Amino acid sequence: MSKLVTIYGGSGFVGRYIARRMAKQGWRVRVAVRRPNEALYVKPYGAVGQVEPILCNIRDDDSVRAAMQGADAVVNCVGVLVSLGKNSFDAVQKDGAARIARIATEQGVGQMVHLSAIGADAVSTCDYKRSKGEGEAAVQAAFPGAVILRPSLIFGTEDGFFNRFAGMAALMGPVLPVVGAETKFQPVYVDDVAAAAEKAVLGEAEAGIYELGGPDVETMRELMHRMLGVIQRRRGVVNIPFWIARIMGWSFDMVQKFSFGLVPATLSRDQVKALREDNVVAEEAQGFEALGIQPKAMGAILPDYLWRFRPSGQYAAITNSAKNLKA
């Protein structure tokens, strides 16, 4: 019988790419999510019955254990960008990660892959990074053979970064406001992260932490100019000072709190803290090279999905060519 991998959060941005890769490897894939009816699009990744979304709540031992039953490998892709209600940073990224690792050891699972983030630090003042760091420590304590992946900013067709700012640029006036304009990032293509997870599941990666970044290191301002070039729009990139961003973050946090989460925070105080620090691979860290993977550059991928934000959309090239025609 084919081997089985359980991917917690397997319908998410990164998880779906891992699920697709493992299905191509011939593995049975169990996609453990909170809303399986909203994850039915993963089923065509493999043959009939090969990829199945199932109900799972990583805050519950029995739910995690049931989703892992009979698995040869597990991948944890569950994470949150906003701490809200029961799905707080600690509940998901620390306790949830610890629960998966502990139960994986109890069930004798062969391989575990845990998706973290560059900057994970158990003593960070940023709650997102702190919970990621504490989650990593818990995973390594419960499952010493785990492979931990720390990607930088992840981009791809379904990303919430370039798509978000491209949408803002298409709708807003002559300026595009950003926080942390001089903060550096090393964007990594989502399928390259999935390829790293695939190698780990197949037992082709040594246990430990891998920091994953693409070939380009750019500031937030440079990333915005790159994106604007792809969508063929002229906007002035204006930096919002951190002291103003903190006030904005506090205001948005209050709106989210008093609306009981119905109005999500556009920018949180914790995100402002995170934006103060560069998000690049450390010099001493092992990464794609150790895995034998050549990461793709942004220039090769961004035009494939950001074209829809151009003034003429898919017809931009035709429109530009028409301008050059002479009567």
What backbone torsions phi and psi does residue 188 show, to the nearest 5 degrees?
Answer: -125, 135
C-alpha 186/C-alpha 209 separation (Å) is 17
Question: Other CB atoms closer than 10 Å to residue 40's CB: what's the count?
Answer: 12
Q: How many helices (H) and strands (E) does the chain have?
A: 13, 13
What confidence tens digit (pLDDT) does each residue in 223-278 have? 999 999 999 999 999 999 999 999 999 999 899 888 877 888 889 999 999 999 99
- Which superfamily does 4-157+186-216+279-295 belong to? NAD(P)-binding Rossmann-like Domain (3.40.50.720)
Question: Other CB atoms closer than 10 Å to residue 283's CB: what's the count?
Answer: 5
Domain boundaries, the chain: 4-157+186-216+279-295
pTM over 0.95: no
Q: Tell me what pLDDT residue 188 has.
A: 98
With a cut of 50, list the residues of the chain below it in pLDDT: 327
What confidence tens digit (pLDDT) does each residue in 22-42 have? 999 999 999 999 999 999 999
Q: Tell me what pLDDT residue 320 has.
A: 61
C-alpha 94/C-alpha 130 separation (Å) is 9
